Amino acid sequence: MRQVGGGGTPPARAGGRGPERGVRPEIGDSWARLRRLGLDPERGQEPPRLGLGELEEARRATGLEQVLPVLRSTLFPPGDASPVVLTVSDPKARVLWWDGERKLKRDADSIGFGTGALWSEDEVGTNGIGLATRTARASTVHSVEHYLRSHRNWSCVAAPVRDPRTGRLAGVVNLSSPAAESHPLLRQLTLSAARLAETELRAGHLEALHRLRTVAVPLLARFGGPALVVDGAGWTAAATGLPGPPRLAPPPDSWGAGGVHWVPTLGECAVEPLADGWLVRPAALRPAEIAERAESAVLELDLRRPNGPELRVRGSAGAWSHSPTPRHAELLLLLALHRDGLSAAQLAGALFADPARTVTVRAELSRLRRYLGALLEARPYRLAACAEVTVLGPDDPYDLLPGSDAPTVRLLRADLVHGVRRLPGPGGGSQPSASSSANSSSLGSSSAAVPSGTRA
């Protein structure tokens, strides 16, 4: 393939801490991260590949094989030689399936791209698949935006596919084409393919719930008290004696062999395995407020996995965990940094650089309160003062909510990289307040603001 766009070294960093000049923020952040890792832009060796046994095991683990027929029939109709290569990767950026025009696949194979290849940023630099798996957001990387020179003949667009049962990343759909032939609609086509894949997964989940319901309904009819049956991810298949919530929140490691467990919204429950799910019988109905007692609560926001934030709460009412959405993870991080509280306008300024977007912020906080209950207070919005709050961050600060483009989060990453700020908690120092050196009032401005937090 002919060289497109030329070479050049990665652009210099503005002032050593700001975003890259002349490139989109996500590309600049990616290049800065890879320079810190010491990745050579001239690197030519092939990336690691899965063996056949490992490949089959990885394919089974994703459950994405069911989406391949509809993707292939939609993207590659008979008689149409589409100038793209389709790949489906797992959350670790390992290419599990690929398809496309034979010559394009040969060209792609010349740079090590293909089935079984590990296409993460750490291995092959900035690319669509690597960015999408690290940030859990749709990513476009065109020609010279690739970190490795050998990849600059290509353009690629990758979009995350989320598991409808858990909301977590199930994999990534990617379309690649020669950079000189890249079509402006490639991004929209990729996004449509990812949504199509999610629709197929959702249909499969509904079928599985229906199968579980056929087992559950006759069983529940024999119970005199309230009970419900949920699948392995907590989705309700059937209920009796109570308005079954759409979904319960099982712990990340499941309920083991059953027994008595604290279940958010229901309280103490007897949990028993049933078919492909669980039979849940509340010991006593509780109000639908998860954290009904906040005394001595410990709230831990785990951001160590780039695309898998986890919220864990322990208190006198029991212990539970929840996988927050990316937006909720941003809000929780800001509230953990500002224990004195923030107004809706200040949060809107921190997230969107637009203090007027208070309606969006209030709606998201209302949804978040369903999980936090009394731990989330208002006027201003803040985490309960009696709660101990810890934020666990990743080893590489650039992996802190990498999908977030909120101005305050981007500045926080830069501060963590340069060691001028630490995350709150036992490992990061004392709990900060909004009245510290960079106070919360600055978050309400339209200009970028350094977040309040623990100074190093």
**Domain-wise residue ranges, the chain:** 14-203, 223-282, 298-455
CA 252 to chain centre: 15
> Per residue in 394-425, pLDDT tens?
999 999 999 998 999 999 999 999 889 999 98
pLDDT in tens, 95-147: 999 999 899 999 999 999 999 999 999 999 999 999 999 999 999 999 999 99
Element (H, E) at 209: helix 186-220
Q: Burial of 296 by CB count in 10 Å (0-12 exposed, 13-18 middle, 19+ buried)?
A: exposed
pLDDT confidence of residue 455: 47
With 60 as the cut, is the pLDDT of residue 447 above it? no
pLDDT tens digits for 171-189?
999 999 998 877 788 999 9
- pLDDT, one tens digit per residue, over 189-219 is 999 999 999 999 999 999 999 999 999 999 8
Which of 14-28, 103-117, 270-284 has the lowest average pLDDT? 14-28
Average pLDDT of the residues in 329-346: 96
Architecture of domain 14-203: 2-Layer Sandwich (3.30)
- For every residue of 216-230, DSSP letters joined together read HHHHHTT-SS-EEEE
| 133 vs 159: CA distance, rounded Å | 9
pLDDT band at 266 (very low <50, low <70, confident <90, very high): confident
Nearest CA to 333 out of 404, 263, 273 is that of 404
pTM as predicted: 0.76
| Confidence at residue 45, expressed as pLDDT on a 0 to 100 scale | 73
Predicted confidence at residue 143, as pLDDT, reads 93
- Residue written as token pair 């489906």: 88
Q: Give pLDDT, residue 77.
A: 82
**Mean pLDDT computed over every residue of the chain:** 83
Predicted local confidence at residue 83, as pLDDT: 87
- Rounded CA-CA distance 434/342 in Å is 8
SS3 content of the chain, % helix, strand, coil (to 5): 35, 25, 40
* Ramachandran area for residue 96 (φ above 0: left; ψ -120 to 50: alpha; else beta): alpha
